[in-house]
């Protein structure tokens, strides 16, 4: 593999970025396209914040906060503290360095550039060689419906509400009218391999998969599409993917993940602790590959990337 391959990864935020950090130890960034969820985008203080785009971009630029996996390293929060005096106690963390990105994005969007163009500029200015592609230039706004409550915009559910509560439904508002950004479908059909990162299947990859033409594009190249299960040993490694699967009536296992991605993927990487699911995943027409999928270090993420790249090759 190495220099010859082109890889397209469908990504949410932190889980995906952990994997990408390993992947770019194995393939040159210039051979990588990352198609990123924008359903979590939100406006704060009049600024356009794209949490998943920033997590992926900061990771590729080597400036991400290594402890949280999101936001920038060596961050301070003076501006947010001052904003709190005007708006009340903030619930969404925006660091001083991070704010520069949101200011720049917002100003460039206002001057008429598309989100794709602004994202390209930000990535270039931060020294990223990979192509970071927002899934769409159009607004898709993910809402989460909890039992007994009206649907909440994703960040209110996730950050303000701490991702608590029984999830009854996910709404991807605007997705029917949204078009995949230019280059998204080609990046899927023309790559040597496509990777569905270990991201939340409903709120991170769900919005990308729901865009017109994306499922069809994946199904036409299915044999070279590899997903990594975000569910390990009956729960998500982090975050609410397990609770969402349960709430929405899916089995919380790699087999449940395989069913969600059936007809879209040729290979599912599942953790070694879940090896007993391999046969039933194979019966779904998906090749199971067993690996250590816990990316505790960048070196471990790179070893997982080796497994994924070998699965694409084979």
In the complex with ligand GDP, which residue's Cβ is closer, 35 or 108? 35
Work out which of 136, 204, 209, 221 binds ligand GDP, going by CB under 6 A. 204
Residue number of the CB closest to ligand GDP reads: 15
Does residue 119 belong to the site contacting ligand GDP (CB under 6 A)?
Answer: no
Nearest partner of 198 among 2, 22, 1, 54, judged by Cα:
22
Q: How far is the CB of 9 from ligand GDP (least distance, A)?
A: 11
Structure tokens at 56: 């992926």
Work out which of 64, 241, 265, 286 binds ligand GDP, going by CB under 6 A. 241
Does residue 256 belong to the site contacting ligand GDP (CB under 6 A)?
Answer: no
Distance CA 151, CA 142 (A): 9
Cα 301 to Cα 26, 40, 66, 127, 144: the distances in Å are 10, 25, 14, 22, 30
Distance CA 232, CA 222 (A): 23
Contacts with ligand GDP in 141-160 (CB under 6 A)?
none
Does residue 303 belong to the site contacting ligand GDP (CB under 6 A)?
Answer: no
Work out which of 159, 169, 294, 307 binds ligand GDP, going by CB under 6 A. 294
Judge contact between 119 and 132, C-beta under 8 A.
Answer: yes
Judge contact between 201 and 257, C-beta under 8 A.
Answer: yes
Continuous segment of H or E residues that includes residue 190: helix 184-190
Q: How far is the CB of 160 from ligand GDP (least distance, A)?
A: 15
Judge contact between 75 and 98, C-beta under 8 A.
Answer: yes
Work out which of 135, 293, 305, 311 binds ligand GDP, going by CB under 6 A. 293
Work out which of 31, 50, 199, 253 binds ligand GDP, going by CB under 6 A. 199
Work out which of 191, 195, 228, 252 binds ligand GDP, going by CB under 6 A. 228
Q: How many CA atoms lie within 13 A of 237 on its CB side?
A: 21
In the complex with ligand GDP, which residue's Cβ is closer, 126 or 273? 273
In the complex with ligand GDP, which residue's Cβ is closer, 230 or 266? 230
Question: 239-258 b/e with 16+ CB inside 10 Å = b?
Answer: bbbbbbbbbeebbbbbbbbb
Does residue 134 belong to the site contacting ligand GDP (CB under 6 A)?
Answer: no
Work out which of 33, 65, 200, 253 binds ligand GDP, going by CB under 6 A. 200
Contacts with ligand GDP in 6-65 (CB under 6 A)?
12-16, 18
Judge contact between 294 and 235, C-beta under 8 A.
Answer: no
Q: Quick one: which segment of 1-9, 131-139, 207-215, 293-301 binds ligand GDP (CB under 6 A)?
A: 293-301
Q: Quick one: which segment of 74-82, 84-92, 213-221, 231-239 binds ligand GDP (CB under 6 A)?
A: 231-239
| Residue found by looking up tokens 């969820």 in the block | 37
Kindly give the pairing relationship between strand 47-49 and strand 42-44.
antiparallel
Distance CA 170, CA 144 (A): 5
In the complex with ligand GDP, which residue's Cβ is closer, 16 or 217? 16
Q: Quick one: which segment of 106-114, 143-151, 171-179, 238-246 binds ligand GDP (CB under 6 A)?
A: 238-246
With DSSP H G I counted as helix, E B as strand and the rest as coil, what are the percentages for the chain, rounded to 5?
40, 20, 40
Kindly determine how many residues on this chain lie close enough to bind ligand GDP according to the rule CB under 6 A.
22
Work out which of 22, 95, 165, 198 binds ligand GDP, going by CB under 6 A. 198
Task: Give the binding site for ligand GDP (CB under 6 A).
Answer: 12-16, 18, 198-200, 204, 228-230, 232, 236-239, 241, 293-295
């Amino acid at each position: 593999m190495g220099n010859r391959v082109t890889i397209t990864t469908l990504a949410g935020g932190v889980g995906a970025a952990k994997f990408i950090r390993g992947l770019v130890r194995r393939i040159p960034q210039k051979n990588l396209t990352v198609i990123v969820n924008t359903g979590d985008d939100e406006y704060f203080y009049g600024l356009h914040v794209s949490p998943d785009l920033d997590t992926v971009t900061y990771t590729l630029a080597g400036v991400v906060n290594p402890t949280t996996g999101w936001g920038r390293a060596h961050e301070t929060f003076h501006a947010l503290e001052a904003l709190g005096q005007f708006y009340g106690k903030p619930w969404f963390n925006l660091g001083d360095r991070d704010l520069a990105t949101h200011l720049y994005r917002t100003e460039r969007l206002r001057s008429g550039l598309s989100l794709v163009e602004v994202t390209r500029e930000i990535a270039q200015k931060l020294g990223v060689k990979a192509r970071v592609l927002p899934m769409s230039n159009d607004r898709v706004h993910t809402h989460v419906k909890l039992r007994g409550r009206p649907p909440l915009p994703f960040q209110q559910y996730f950050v303000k509400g701490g991702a608590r509560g029984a999830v009854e439904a996910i709404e991807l508002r605007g997705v029917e009218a949204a078009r995949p950004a230019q280059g998204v479908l080609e990046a899927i059909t023309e790559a040597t391999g496509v990777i569905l990162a270990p991201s939340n299947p409903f709120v991170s990859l769900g919005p990308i998969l729901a865009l017109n033409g994306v499922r069809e594009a994946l199904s036409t190249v299915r044999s070279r599409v590899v997903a990594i299960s975000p569910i390990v040993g009956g729960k998500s490694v982090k975050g609410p993917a397990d609770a969402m699967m349960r709430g929405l009536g899916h089995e919380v296992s790699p087999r449940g993940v395989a069913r969600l991605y059936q007809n879209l993927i040729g290979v599912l990487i599942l953790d070694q602790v879940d090896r007993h699911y391999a046969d039933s995943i194979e019966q779904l027409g998906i090749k199971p590959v067993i690996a250590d999928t816990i990316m505790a270090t960048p070196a471990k993420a790179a070893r997982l990337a080796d497994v994924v790249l070998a699965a694409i090759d084979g």
